[in-house]
Amino acid sequence: MSEFARFSTLSFDCYGTLIDWESGIAHALRPWATRNSLDWDDEDLIAAHARFETIVQQEHPDSPYPQILAEVMRRIGHASGREVTQEDAAEYGHSVAQWPAFPDSADALQALSERYRLVILSNVDRASFAASNDRLKVEFDLIVTAEDVGSYKPDPANFAAMFAALAEIDVPAGEVLHVAESLYHDHEPAQQLGMPSVWIHRRHSKVGQGATAIPTATVNPTWRFESMADFAAAALS
């Protein structure tokens, strides 16, 4: 019997796990960087985003994600000594709809949906996620966003809101397995809650933290895979 057989429900982070937000971030920032003669590669652009996103989310936990992204871009501009126009900030704020899915996400989710309930626990707003959901091509049983909760992961309130919503559809907390890329946003709070988790280590071939902040403690996810395809194969064996 599969070691995942005791779970009925998989909760997913979306951005970084199912949607390739680092490619999306770099692609969205590239035209502005080029116009402003910033000789930054994709990793530089991603790191610039990471430098400010968590700070802005902590300062404005009830702001919708497009406003978070817009403010992140303004701070990138200020730190680099480059102008960020109102149009620049607004375009970046609404860029999530263009962020691509990882090539294996839709097929893996479709296969997993045959055995498990699928849940999204994401640090975005409903409208932004709706565009991403179209790329993922699966119907989720439950969607909980930062907009719904009024805070951003790793705030435990986001996990609490998910568990409360799952209880309403008779899913016990002990049957839920969390699947995510970010150690900081997802695995650290899951570990603090005693929740088993699967690390989809999308950056396994790269150095650094990418678009995410550094965890505040040592984090040990329960399982680790390098792709959603590998995880789906194991979870369905």
What span, in angstroms and rounded, lies between the C-alpha atoms of 167 and 120?
15
* Residue 128 identity (one-letter amino acid): S
Q: Judging by beta carbons within 10 Å of its beta carbon (0-12, 13-18, 19+), is residue 227 exposed, middle or buried?
A: middle
The rounded distance, in Å, linking the Cα atoms of 88 and 15 is 22
How far is 160 from 155, CA to CA, in rounded Å?
9
Tokens 């303004």 found at: 74
Is residue 39 flagged as an active site residue? no
Instruction: Look at residues 196, 208, 212, 207 and name the one whose alpha carbon lies nearest to residue 9.
Output: 196
CA distance 109 to 135: 11
Residues 6+ apart with CB under 8 A from 68: 53, 56, 57, 60, 93, 152
Just list the catalytic residues. 13
